[in-house]
Chain A
């Protein structure tokens, strides 16, 4: 596996509380992504980052914010968790590797979040 870790791996929280998930990489890759995985939807992009302090919204960004103060860390915050945010969250990384590799993304192990 590429050097990607996610913490925590499992979390149970209550509606209305803030939650922060962390993604850490040791590959020095430029791009980092947060996805959520839900049955029947595959993976959907929440936010992504193309460098330190450079982030942009994905397909399902409402209710989420991100921060990237260092190359190796990308934080996802649920500002006020709702039951609809119960999901499995994956972090991914990629780099500019040229024509042979494309924009291949490598994934972390995931965080299972349950919002009660």
Chain B
């Protein structure tokens, strides 16, 4: 079945850029998403990219999609302590159903 993989942890210094990576297996994915989960909270939609796009920028967030390699990344510029959270990528390989990665815990150090 569909598989979405992410590294489990990332640690960066405040002010640096963070890059969170994701790989997926379903080549029919229409949309790919990034969600953010803060401690004790639900998932908050950060951004999404349509599969025919290579890049999408939204303020400090840049999403890159390499469809050939089935690789998705989320870059957060000028990372702040408030960006510390778990980040999930997800794709719509199954129509209205999402397949989630395991999540990457981002820790921002002063």
Contact = CB atoms under 8 A, between A and B. Distances in A.
B28 interface: no
Contacts of A43: 43, 88, 98, 100
Interface of B is mostly: strand
A110 B43 CA distance: 9
Interface residues of A, number: 27
A74 interface: no
Contact of B96 (A59, A94, A107, A108): A94
A110 B102 CA distance: 17
A41 B3 CA distance: 11
Contact of A103 (B42, B43, B95, B101): B95
Interface residues of B, number: 23
Contacts of B48: 102, 104
B92 A109 contact: no
A103 B45 contact: no
- Which of B95, B101, B103 has the largest number of chain A CB atoms within 10 A? B103
B68 interface: no
A58 B99 CA distance: 11
A18 to B, nearest CB: 25
A64 to B, nearest CB: 16
Contacts of A33: 97
Nearest to B5: A42
B38 to A, nearest CB: 11
Nearest to B92: A103
Contacts of B41: 109-110
A97 to B, nearest CB: 11
Interface string A88-114: 001010100001001111111110000
Contacts of B31: 102-104
Interface of A: 1, 31, 33, 35, 40-45, 48, 50, 58-59, 90, 92, 94, 99, 102-110
Interface of B: 1, 4, 30-31, 33, 35, 41-45, 48, 50, 88, 92, 95-98, 100-103
The 4 closest A-B pairs by CB, nearest first: A102-B31, A107-B42, A42-B100, A107-B43
